[in-house]
Every structure is written in structure tokens, then in C-alpha cells.
Structure 1
């Protein structure tokens, strides 16, 4: 009964995130305060079900527990908020259907579901593996066949496939069905334990960063994607020494065969300053330094290409994207499907763009200020400060959201 009650309660919490239904419900506390909050949530959920009919709860589906624990106060990236007055003229380009987010496809290996939720066919199922000691989960990441979660207290949890050591547990386990705590090793004798602030999962590797800007990678080392100077695999977290000490990592990204980090430099007055480092495969110029050979160690991307501090970076299969503090987007790498967002697809005669280039149509034609970018295998999406999603590239499965 208690387990069922907890699942029903988590369903109600999801409504807090998806709509206005429970906007006046207090945050969960502990003990008696938590019980009262749960009772109020259940009361509101029951009232909503009566209004919407007997199948209301079923239509809404199961909740995602990690989202239920999200707390805005625990997020402190020290990044400037976009100015809504500078967003320019609103014009919708793409309007993805919300159902695409609420109806997950089948996942064959339910071990990947871990602490957040697991999938059996098309029916999400809430799990309670993060009950003890994890605290509030503030970030999650998915790789090819593995997942990771980061708590507000800086603890890392991994689960799923471990064939290439991407869970950081060593090579003894081929997969782990329940999330397991991963310890980042000390890089100085005086440090006994390091707490994480960022996590990213690639196809077969993982990256994490600490508050002081130390980056760790582990898993498959093909093409140098771990940044340790070789193509060797590492089954436990290893410090990426090619990234200098900084004031923290603004953005951390893993692609199929690439990894990148945006590090925060000490502030100059009130101005944010960043450097971009990338490494791994480079046959299409996705490192961004004008070369095509694999980068076995981090390579600093020339800041002159961006002009402003970078706040987000993402990698696809063979292309990359970044957005800056001023809301502009830059892309580079392979462009055979238009995933870079340019009209020209053959800048070097081979469909490649070797260094970051501005996606002009977003800021000139469409007047958009972008606050986040994400790369798929052959397409790219961007989130504007108006809350609109813009997409370009391959649309063979409607992944850019045009219908």
C-alpha cells in the first residue's frame, strides 16, 4: 500500500511540472510536513480526476521521479538570464507536438530505466531506486545504452550497459539494473572526495565535471573521445589533464565519438568569460579547429569564432553546435543533411565546415535569441528565450518537428 501511495503521489508531483493544476501546493519537507503535502497533492489529484473523467490518471501516464525532485534553488550555474526585451520579433518556425514528449517508445533493455523510470513496451513505470541518500536529482543524462543522474549534493549515479566501462564501475559488470553511486577520484592528495556539478553521456562513454572545473571521462576511448592522449578504454573515472583549472564548467557534452566542455574563466568585472575545449573524432571537422585528424587530447577552439562567451555546447554524430551569451548559434562539422543550418552544404567541397560558423537566419531573418542547443545524429534543435523550439537538418523521421 505504501509503495502504491508513493507512486500515486509522484504522479501528482508531475502535474506540478506540466501544468498549473497544483501551482499552490507547498514543497515537500520531512516528517509531518511531508505527510501534509502528500495529502494535499492527493486531494487535488482526486479532484482533478473527478473533473476529467475516470481515465484521467491513465491519460496523464506515470511520473518521472527525477523531475519531481527538481528544485530551482539547487541550480546555481551563475549564468546570466536572457533579456526578454532583446528577443526580437516573435515568429514560429516549428511547433512540435507535446505528445512526442509524453509517449516514449519501447526500450529493449529496462536496465537503462534505473532510478528515474523504466520502460516496458510503451508504458512508463516509476521505480524507487533512488530512495536512500541520493537527495534531490537536478540533472539526468542518457547515452547509447546507459544513463546517469546528478544530485543537488554532487553525487553521481550510473546504470545500464557497462560493456565499455561507461558506468565507471570497472569491467566486472556487463550491466547494472539499479543506479549505483560513482566516486570521482581525488586529483590532489588533500582531496578525499570530489562532488560533481555536470554530467553527460555519449554513445559508449561518460563525462562529469566538478565545481572547480575538473573534468573526468570514462568508457570507450575510440578516436580519443576520453581525452587522455590515447584511444584506450577506461572503466573508472579518469581526470582529463588537458583542460586547465577554471572557475567551473558551464556546459559539458558527449556525442557519439566526441566530447566537449565550456569552462568558466574568472570574471572580469561582471562579464562572463569562457573557453571551449573539444576532443575525439574529427573526420568531418567537428573538433572546430580547422583540422581533420582525431584529437586525442582537448583542443581549445579559437574564441574569435564566437565573439561572445559560450554558454552551451552539443555534439551530434559528426557535427557540433554552440550558443553564446548573446543568443547567437554557431555550428560546424558535417552538413550533408543541412544540420548546420546554412544554405550552402559544400563549403570545403566535401560538405564540411571546419570551424564554428554563425547560423545567420536565426538572428537576422527570424530575430531569435537562443538559450540552448541540442544535436541529434543528423539534425539540430535550438530553444529560444520565447520558449520556441527551432529545428533543422534531416527530417526523415520528422525529428526536426515539422509536420
Structure 2
């Protein structure tokens, strides 16, 4: 329930990012979302998993669908279902030179001439002349109705889910390889990732802005997608179009991972935190602004004997929670997302944020310019940018 309450606030941000202005700008109970199992949201789209009476689950999505990230478009032909680049693994491990990264639009010379599916649903609210496709109310992803979903995650323009059978499905934009399906530029409906083999059971998935990470039942970490900042952790700055094990961590048991805009953080079974990727905003927590293409352990946690149980990556900052309920923050906090006061807008290493001396933190979530914290007694604390009235009420809220 804690995760549902904390991420529900992100859903409201999604709706407001679409230009939807509701009179109820504070968290409001939705009768539609009864029996909610989990929620995921990005700045453009959201996903909600509901538990059904028969023990099954249903996945509902809403928000922008300009890259098929809602998983509900129905192309007229198979060619429109998936746009692909030439599919060779040698080419897929390189940074593609014929993609326009600034506009995020595919520019392959031999790509199929594909037109975006036209919506015929009453729920589709868009501007056909501008090619805008979005849904203002939740729609059911019918292609996953036969699967029981246990994990979900939203990237900037892609989505991923894990089933109780350890299967991974991805869809949306794949221009950087973030779908893990090879040289697929875009998929409008969920597609199973099978390149790891049937013997690999997937426990968790986390989508960053343009990259994706998964944890297997063997506690191995795999990544794919944009790697130009080193966020994939493979020792280079290349994009990867297939999930590849982070070999630098293969001797460790990874129990949790979080993907930010351009960086990644992983927690081991021993409570250590490894970070890699962009570091120009000190979001890696190593005391400098260097970017890293291989995972590096944050030493300060060992020195202060703090074991970490959870980590969350925002755009330019990172937060973590220790097994003792302590909150640590680091990175850039120009919007107040570190919660360290107006005089402390940068933390180069993990810094204790003692919100209240008598409060123990259960979980913390970092986003683009803001942070949500949940105490062990169900209180929600928020800090950072409030451009969309994300925390319209006082920041001390109880998650009843």
C-alpha cells in the first residue's frame, strides 16, 4: 500500500503534464482504481495493475501514446506492429549513427515506411492534425489479460512488465534499444523478451528515461538501451539493443535496482550501493562529478556502517533508505529535492536527511526535481519542485 500511495501522486503529475486541470489537485481516492496492486508513472504516461476477483490481474494505461507506450494501439497490418532496423547483433551493440538523438526520431535509410495507427476508440482524445495521441481515462491492455503481472515500470516513452512466471514484456519507443528486442524502433503492443532464454526467470524490471534494467532470480543484473553516459555499466558508452549481464557485478547478489535519467543504482544483498552513469550533478555519490561506465561501490556507507535496503534515482539526484530507517540524499538539489534547506543545494556524497528525529523512513522515491518519502507509520513527506501542485497540501500527509 505504501508504494501505491506514494506513486499515485505521480499519476496526478502525469495528467497535469497533458494539460488536464482538475479542481481536485490534492490526492483523491478513485473508485475506478479499487483493488490496486501497483502503480507506475512517468511524466508522459501511467500504468495501474488491478487485482481481479479470480486471482488474475489487469493492466490499465493512460496518458500520452505518441510512441505506443500505452500498449493499446491496434495497427491494421503486421508491418505497423513493429518498426525495425536491420537486425544483426553486431550492429545492435553499437551506437547507431543514423539516429537523430536530438529529436528522438528514427532515420534509418531502409526502415519500413510506417504510419502511426489511427485511433478509433471513443476514449482517444487527440489532435489528428498535429498527430497527438493520448488517453485521458484508463484503457485496458488486453494483450496481457492472460498473464498475472507482478512488476511494472514506465520510462519516458516506453514501458515494461514482469509476470509471475518470470516473463518480461516491453513496448513503446525502442530507438536506443531500451525494449531489449533488438533493433526495434517502436512497438505499439506488449512483446515478450525471449533473447535471454527460457531458463532465465526475471524478478524485477526498472525503466529509466531511455534505458532498462532487470534482475533475475539468480540476482544478476542485466541492462539495455541508451548507454552514452555509461548508465548500462558495461565499461563503455555504447547503446545496447539486447539485455546484457553487467559482468562487473556478477559475483554479487543484486536485490534492487533503480534507473534515473542517465544513471543507475543497484543494491546488493549485503546492503551496499553501486552506481554508474552520468555524474556531472554528483548523482553517483562518489564525491566528484565524473561519469562512470562501470559500477562503483559508494564507500561512505561502509565507513558509517549503514546497510541500504532501497535506492531511487531521480533525474539529477539519488535517495536511499537504510535498514535502520535513515534517509540519505545526494546530487543536485536546486529545486529543494534533497530536503537539506536552501543553503545546501548540492550533496557530493550521501548525506543524512534527518526530517524528524523520531521518524523512521520506510521508502523514498526520487523523480525529476522532487522526492517523496514514506515513514514507517504511513506519513508522506514531499520536497522539491511544485510546478504542477504535486504536493498541494502540507507536505506531512498520512497514507491511511
**What TM-score bracket applies, with the shorter chain setting the length?**
0.5 to 0.7
How far off is 1:394 after superposition?
1.4
Q: Compared with structure 1, are the counterparts of its residues 184 and 357 closer, same or farther at alpha carbon in structure 2 (3 Å cutoff)?
A: farther
Say yes or no: does 1:175 pair with 2:186. Answer: yes
**1:68, CA displacement in angstroms?**
1.9
1:325 maps to: 323
Partner of 1:402: 393
Q: Using the TM superposition, give the Cα deviation of residue 368 of structure 1 relative to its aligned residue in structure 2, in angstroms.
A: 2.0
Is residue 66 from structure 1 mapped to residue 85 from structure 2 by the alignment?
Answer: no
Q: How does 1:179-258 map to 2 (within 5 A)?
A: 179-183=190-194, 185=196, 193-247=199-253, 249-258=254-263
TM-score with structure 2 setting the length:
0.67
Q: For residue 297 of structure 1, report the CA deviation from its aligned partner.
A: 0.5
Distance 1:391 1:12 in 2: 25
Unaligned segments of structure 2, at least 5 residues: 1-29, 38-45, 74-122, 125-133, 395-400
Q: Is it true that 1:281 corresponds to 2:278 in the alignment? A: yes
Deviation at 1:281, TM superposition (A): 0.3
Question: Which residue of structure 2 lines up, in the alignment, with residue 372 of structure 1?
Answer: 363
How far apart are 1:212 and its partner, in Å? 1.9
More strand by share: 2
Would you say the 8 A contact 2:67–2:157 is kept in 1? no
Distance 2:393 2:287 in 1: 33
Root-mean-square deviation (CA, aligned residues, Å) is 3.1
1:66-121: CA deviations, max 9, x gaps? 3326999x9xxxxxxxxxxxxxxxxxxxxxxxxxxx9x9741427211279x9743
In structure 2, do the counterparts of structure 1 residues 391 and 164 end up closer, same or farther at CA, with 3 Å as the change threshold?
Answer: same
Query: 1:176 Cα deviation (Å)?
Result: 0.8
- What aligned pairs does 1:340-379 form with structure 2 within 5 A after superposition? 340-343=338-341, 345-346=343-344, 351-362=345-356, 364=357, 367-379=358-370
1:54 is matched with none
Matched residue SS, 1:232 = coil
Q: Is the 8 A contact 1:224 1:294 kept in 2?
A: yes
Distance 1:371 1:353 in 2: 22
Q: Distance in 2 between matches of 1:344 and 1:204?
A: 31
**Structure-2 separation of matches of 1:230 and 1:70:** 48
Decide whether the 8 Å contact of 1:330 with 1:359 is kept in 2: yes
Larger Rg: 1
1:141 to 153, 158, 174: 153
Kindly indicate whether residue 170 of structure 2 is the aligned counterpart of residue 158 of structure 1: yes
Q: CA deviation at 1:185?
A: 2.7
Distance 1:196 1:15, change over 3 A: same
**Contact 1:318–1:377 (Cα < 8 Å) also in 2:** yes
State TM-score, norm by structure 1: 0.67
Partner of 2:335: 337
Displacement over 6 Å in runs of 4+: none
Helix, strand or coil at the partner of 1:165: coil
Task: Give the structure 2 partner of residue 15 of structure 1.
Answer: 34
> Given that residues 203 and 216 in structure 2 are in contact (C-alpha distance below 8 angstroms), is that contact kept between their aligned partners in structure 1?
yes
